[in-house]
Structure 1
């Protein structure tokens, strides 16, 4: 049976910025979908404990004032997100996340910041993860297509409904829909065992990162960006300190 025929779990974070090492969770969604499941996303709004930059608020719509008034303590929110995803892993379901290494890495750093057991430790190691990343799959099956590969762009390309981009619930559900659509038009991917597909994406993501770094290196004015491209997927390991 294909992974497409089983439930999957969409996961998305909206945050204070794009630096996985220093930015914080603002909203989150974990939503199980498929096989007749009623979509009932689990949503969180956190007070990140720092100001939310205007640029980030303009994207996801949550201001510092709203987060402080309505958000729950970040440590509680992060612990619940980790617990929810650990249940997904225990149930043998894939986590579907657009640009998964961003969301999973930022969640990992938030857990360490707040004294919460990180997901990889909670589940017994990164080998237990089964992740589907529409961004990695799209680049693998259609590497030469020009244009943006944001979630909004992928939804438009694959004819997927996106109900309110940059809200964590809309993005989590859209990521699942895009992954399903890619599998639908790529029988080879659909027929691949989930564990094998996860391992393949590790290799594909590394190759895609190498291609991006090479592009930056040869592009005038962007050479400095090459060194910052990370190959690790779906999680950038935390740096151990003495």
Structure 2
């Protein structure tokens, strides 16, 4: 049985911004799908403990007032997410994440912020990630157009309602991963362990290519050195005393 017909677990975060080192989780979803079992999801709304910028609210629809009134303590949310992902890894399921380094790095930093044992410390080398963004760019590198989740859903003929909500995006990432495997034999024919490893190589190549593009683009040269490497997450850098 190919990985794409087995049980997989989608994961998505909607946050207060784009900086994985300083921004906070606002909503999150872990959803199990495939493998012949019904879709089962858990969602969280957190009180991030900071003001949610208006531009972030415009994307995911959660205001500071709503998060404070209805959200759970951020530490509890982070602990719950980590617990559910550990359960998925222990069951042998891959974690499907669109642009994995964003969500996993943000979760890692939030865990460290609140004294929760980070996911990678708990599961180590057992973590297997499927990143539709990395895979799509690897198998179809010359296709024109953007490759956001909404774009991939459109390209692969999938419906995505309520985009930029964690539950919809987490499930959509799984559906895109399945569609990619059905379209591209080299993906569905690759064992999960090997696919995880090759995605690390693809991600490194894609990141290097993007940095090179910035370096030779007038007016954007200064952005190239800040392109961060690391897949499926950016390693935590311990600060020296």
Instruction: Place the TM-score, normalised by the shorter chain, in its bin.
Output: over 0.9
The match for 1:45 is 45
Instruction: Find the counterpart in structure 1 of residue 21 from structure 2.
Output: 21
Q: Residue 180 of structure 1 aligns with which residue?
A: 178
Contact map agreement 2:97 2:130 (CA 8 A) in 1: yes
In the alignment, structure 1 residue 170 sits paired with structure 2 residue 168: yes
SS in structure 2 at match of 1:9: strand
Greater CA drift, 37-46 or 92-101? 37-46
What displacement does 1:41 show? Answer: 1.1
Kindly indicate whether residue 151 of structure 2 is the aligned counterpart of residue 153 of structure 1: yes
Q: Deviations over 1:102-128 (max 9, x none)?
A: 0000000000000000001122x2x21
Superposed displacement of residue 229, structure 1: 1.3
Unpaired segments of 5 or more residues in structure 2?
Answer: none
Cα distance between partner residues in 2 of 1:145 and 1:221? 25
Q: How does 1:150-229 map to 2 (within 5 A)?
A: 150-229=148-227
Shift of 1:47: 0.1
> In the alignment, what sits opposite 1:6?
6
Matches of 1:36 and 1:160, distance apart in 2: 20
Pick aligned residue for 1:136 from 134, 139, 158: 134
Distance in 1, Cα, partners of 2:233 & 2:72: 26
1:57 aligns with 2:64: no
How far off its partner does 1:241 sit? 2.4
**Contact preservation (8 Å) 2:5, 2:178:** no
What is the rounded CA distance, in whole Å, between the counterparts of 1:55 and 1:111 in structure 2?
Answer: 25
Distance across 2 between alignment mates of 1:92 and 1:40: 16
Q: Normalising by the residue count of structure 1, what TM-score does the alignment of the two structures yield?
A: 0.98
1:164-201 Cα offsets, whole Å, 9 max, x none, are: 10000000000000000000011111010000000000
Corresponding residue pairs, total: 240
The SS at the match of 1:41 is strand
Residues 120-169 of structure 1: CA deviation (Å, up to 9, x unaligned): 1122x2x2110000000000011111211110011111111112100000
Shift of 1:29: 0.2
* TM norm structure 2: 0.98
| SS of equivalent residue, structure 1 residue 115 | coil
Structure 1 residues 178-236: Cα deviation after superposition (integer angstroms, max 9, x where no partner): 00000001111101000000000000000000000000011111111111112210011
What is the CA distance between 1:94 and its match in structure 2? 0.2
Q: Measure the CA separation in 2 of the matches of 1:155 and 1:237.
A: 30
Structure 1 residue runs without a partner (length 5+): none
